[in-house]
Structure 1
Amino acid sequence: MSKIIVAATPVAGHTGPLLRIAGHLSGLGHEVVFLGGARFAAQVAAEGCRFQALPAAADFDDRDFAASFPERELVPAGPARLGWDAMHIFGDPAPVQLAALHELLVSFPATVAIHDSLFLGGAALALGRKPGDRPAVVAIGTFPVMVGSRDTAPFGPGLPPPVDETERAQYAALAGQFAERGRPVTEYVRQCFAAAGVELPAGERPRVLTEAADHFLQLTVPGFEYPRSDLPANVRFIGALPIPASKGDRLPSWWPELEQAGAQGRKVVVVTQGTVANGDLTALVVPTLRALAGREDLLVIAATARHDGEQLLAAELPQLPANARAAGYVPFDALLPHADVLVSNGGYGGVHTALGHGVPLVIAAESEDKPEVAARVAWSGTGINLRTGRPSTEDLAAAVDEVLGRPSYRRRALALCAELARHRAPAAIADLVDEIG
């Protein structure tokens, strides 16, 4: 059995997948130490792993970005905020992350270090020491592939791949503009690595960071990622991680109604804003409930993913529509088999969970990597991209009707479901650990 370090940025969307990986490897008998945010200590213990907290200088509470990073709120969503995040959320902690890894390796001489791909201390470890003098470094891609390519548009605005040489040339010019605007970001990240005593190689930043790892395992399948003839050789698609099965979770009182909806000829629409951007339910949950109100042919489930979600929803919508039901936390592995469409803000993990159940999507996204996720939903034919994080009720109603009324969306979602089923991400990671030895 191997000694393994698993390290994650202290953000739920990054930590969650790495926790599942750590738990799977621990369950196989490997000795695993999880290096992560303090708020996840209990979850790490539940996975049977030893927990090591990140130093305070590299830790923060992602449930309140405004408190941890007040300057971030002044940066507009889109490329500007992606650049700010690259510098301050992911770049600034890199020296502290690397120091924490070095300190941990003194007492725990791991043969494998697994990290989410934006835990830049992992890339610094790979670049700063020769393979024989460090663990094998395995990066996990928990968001769409960022690496630039002659076969895609620049990452960020959610543009589909080029359809002809004219568009390819336009994208190449746009990529040049993006590279010039992103030069200060790259230089800032380079200085963060220098502060850690590591030289960041020249080149496109996402490609350099991707190629730094000995192995880069992307949590998706080829059917959900744009083809690239120049993808780095160390990248491999391994499928999505299954969400943990619910263990005796208490189901809402309206659950029997959900189970009977299909037999009654009603379609089930689930709406969620995920587990992070769910503080303002007027962005997507409330307008979806209003858009579909009065529809006796639909049962609409608002999954707020918050303990106080029903109270937040009631503050904005005191009277739920007659066809709507709401809940705080609800087990998605039990909910999605009943769903006919998921309305979502485009979280990478949540979209893959829906596709893993063959559920087509309506995506309303505008922040972080979510526009790129939404673009891939549209490109793969598994749903509709509304191209905004605050859609109108009219657009929401039309999109839900389009997905429910056109069988191709369900067929494509089922095809992705089958492709995901053919990839067993936990087994692929465990096999790689065994190969490394």
Structure 2
Amino acid sequence: MTTVLLGAIPFEGHVAPMLGVARRFTELDIRVRFLTGAAFADRVRATGAEFLPLPAEADQLESDVVRDIDERRLSGTAALRENLDRVFIRPAAAQYRALLAAIAEEPVDAVLTESGFSGSAGLLHTPGHPPVVVCGILPLGVGSRDVAPFGLGLAPDASPLGRIRNRVLAWAMQHVLFRENQRSADAAMREMTGHDMGGFFLDWPRYADAIAQFTVPSFEYPRSDGPAKLRFFGPVSRLAPSDHARPSWWHDLDGGTPVVHVTQGTVANENLGELIRPTLDALAEEDVLVVVSTGGKPVAELGELPANARAAEMLPYAELMPRVDVFVTNGGYGGLHYALERGVPIVVAGDTEDKPETAARVAWAGVGVNLRTGTPTASAIRDAVREVLADDRYARASARIGAEIQASSGVDGLADLIRSLSPRATLA
């Protein structure tokens, strides 16, 4: 039987896609061992996988993410720079040791870790390592002459001038903006393997045995110099029946009024005033039905709802998305793909973590409007929703990508890739 070792940092948005991989792999008679945080133990076991706990020094909490300094909200590259060390670099050595221990206990045919699990970079420098597959749960971050560096939220440009722009920005990112992050990453790699990173630390997935990107080519920037082992499988989390019950107001969705769904997801929802409340205020007088998911937060935190708004903590997305005309979101990668799968056009407002990159791809792919901030004004939201409702090119572009998603191979294709990799190796 094929045996794989999965790894994910203990954050919801990183674990959830890998749970989808684990569940389908076990259905396909692939033995799965899953290395992640203790908070996810029951959910891992529910997939049929064996749970392996990360050591305490790598078992972070999402509350550890720095979102403000001295009451100043962080965004863009400032937010990314502050959190790279804390979330991705410092835990790498402990992740690496946990990978080695798991493989020593039971050899595996492949190691699959999501792109935030930096301990796998050390494994790639370890002689005799099993095949390592980096699962792209975020927009592809490896550098290219055709795209600006990850984190800037800029559209690709492969023209001669564009490539000059990209090269200058890449130098500035590596030697100025992320200089201290690079030093930390080199130090972590030396601790793991005795060698430094050998290049820009965000580029480490380039050297994996495969990059399995969880999107389709039409929602990722083309790279003429992209990794040869890059493969697209579409999102692994597809719209499917869930345990979330329909709220009592569900029948209002069938009234013929355009439906605008807004959410801040399940992670960046500490302050519902960043996007949900401004959307409610923006559309209170519009001829639309605004449907809110708080991502698990109490609905009461929204305050008084306008007459044309309905809200619930969680909603059955497989039933909701076919009824939605516009999706307003802060740009979580998984949520965007749920909308795209059903051809729903998007208004996106995100400027933390990877969200400047997801938002930029929304605009580049033509599937929606990028508000270029995580705290948009009500008037900006209103104008964007009106534009998306009035111009069907956004819906048509989203539908094209939706068709591509539905035709993609998903986890079954990923399983075929794993079975095709080289025979089981033995660590030196």
TM-score (norm 1): 0.92
1:327 aligns with 2:312: yes
- The equivalences for 1:1-150 within 5 A come to 1-62=1-62, 64-65=63-64, 76-129=74-127, 133-150=128-145
Change beyond 3 A, Cα 1:239–1:401: same
Which aligned pairs between 1:173-322 and structure 2 lie closer than 5 A? 173-181=168-176, 182-207=178-203, 209-243=204-238, 245-258=240-253, 260-261=254-255, 264=256, 266-295=257-286, 297-306=287-296, 308-313=297-302, 317=303, 319-322=304-307
What code does the residue aligned with 1:22 have? A
CA distance in 2 between partners of 1:399 and 1:53 (Å): 44
Q: Any conservation in 1 of the 2:189–2:197 contact (CA below 8 Å)?
A: no
Contact 2:210 2:230 in 1 (8 A): yes
- Between the aligned partners of 1:148 and 1:237, the Cα distance in structure 2 is 17
State the alpha-carbon separation in 2 of the partners of residues 215 and 367 from structure 1.
28
State the secondary structure of the residue aligned to 2:125: helix
Write out aligned runs for 1:149-164 (5 A).
Answer: 149-162=144-157, 164=159
Aligned length: 421
Deviation at 1:65, TM superposition (A): 2.7
Specify the SS of the correspondent of 2:361: helix
Distance in 2, matches of 1:102 and 1:175, equals: 33
Please name the residue that 1:399 is paired with: 384
> Identity over the aligned pairs, expressed in percent?
40
Please say if 1:172 is aligned against 2:167.
Answer: yes
Hey, what does 2:426 align to over in structure 1? none
Deviation at 1:267, TM superposition (A): 0.4
Structure 2 spans left out of the alignment, 5+ residues: 424-428
Off by >4 Å, runs of 4+ in structure 1? 68-75
Establish whether residue 362 from structure 1 lines up as the match of residue 347 from structure 2.
yes
Gaps of 5+ in 1: none
Change (3 A) 1:290 1:126: same
Offset at 1:242? 2.9
> What SS does structure 1 have at the residue aligned with 2:193?
coil
Once the two structures are TM-superposed, the CA of residue 432 in structure 1 deviates from its matched residue by: 1.2
Larger relative contact order (CA 8 Å, sep ≥ 6): 2
Q: Distance in 2 between matches of 1:383 and 1:77?
A: 21
Tell me by how many angstroms 1:213 deviates.
Answer: 1.3
User: RMSD in angstroms over aligned alpha carbons?
Assistant: 1.9
74-83 vs 246-255, which deviates more? 74-83
Match of 1:382 in 2: 367
Contact 2:242-2:316 within 8 A present in 1 as well: no
Is the 2:38–2:53 contact (alpha carbons within 8 Å) kept by the matching residues of 1? yes
Question: 273-282 or 23-32: which moved more?
Answer: 23-32
Kept in 2, the 8 Å contact 1:34–1:51? The answer is yes
2-side partners of 1:76 and 1:70: how far apart? Answer: 5
Q: Distance in 2 between matches of 1:320 and 1:91?
A: 42
TM-score normalised to the size of structure 2?
0.94
Q: Is the Cα–Cα contact under 8 Å of residues 127 and 198 in structure 1 kept in the other structure? A: no
Q: Secondary structure at the match of 2:107?
A: coil
Displacement of 1:198? 4.5
